[in-house]
Amino acid sequence: AVSYNNESAVTEDDQAVTDAAAFTNTYAPGAAILYGSENLTVTKNLNRDWIADDPATADVNEKDSFTFTLTTDDEATRQAIEAQTVILPEATSIVVDTDTVNSEGAHQASFGEITFTEAGTYVFTIAEEGESHDGLTYDKEVRHVTVEVTDNTDGTMTARVTGVTPAAGLTFTNVYKPE
């Protein structure tokens, strides 16, 4: 005689089966990664020359330096972060300064990668920190980044940016007017 012990089955329904072997198939796709270097690069523009540290002076904080933060924009994304189905980069703050210049001469910095373990739509904000000073007006318009995470039904997921508002994208422009 054949006997079946399904006490360790995953579901209660399968545990209750006594006259056959019970099997429960599960499906869990791998995480999707949104790479910051490809999708979350901030560009900083000034309408004047950038000021670098002057090694001849004792003032080490006189160079232009601008800080940007990555946060959530909606309750669903906030809850996903709390549940750890969305994992933000270790650093949610980046600095663009006179040292962060790419090969084309643009002042840029990128956030790290965001990991998603569930499909869905997620909304983030990127904002410039700090206050206007000494004739320099900061770009205070918050950028909204929408990310769509899709289950490819083959064990993988894909994360892609489907929108950035406003139209300036992730370019922030500060305006200098002498006082």
pLDDT per residue as tens digits for the range 20-61: 776 777 788 999 999 999 999 999 887 766 666 555 544 444
- In 3D space, the residue among 100, 92, 91 whose CA is nearest the CA of residue 69 turns out to be 92
Q: Identity (one letter) of the amino acid at 9?
A: A
pLDDT per residue as tens digits for the range 89-111: 999 999 888 777 777 777 899 99
Backbone angles phi, psi at 123, to 5 degrees: -125, 130
Q: Round to whole Å and give the CA distance between 40 and 161.
A: 9
Task: Look over the chain and give the mean of its residue pLDDT values, rounded to a whole number.
Answer: 85
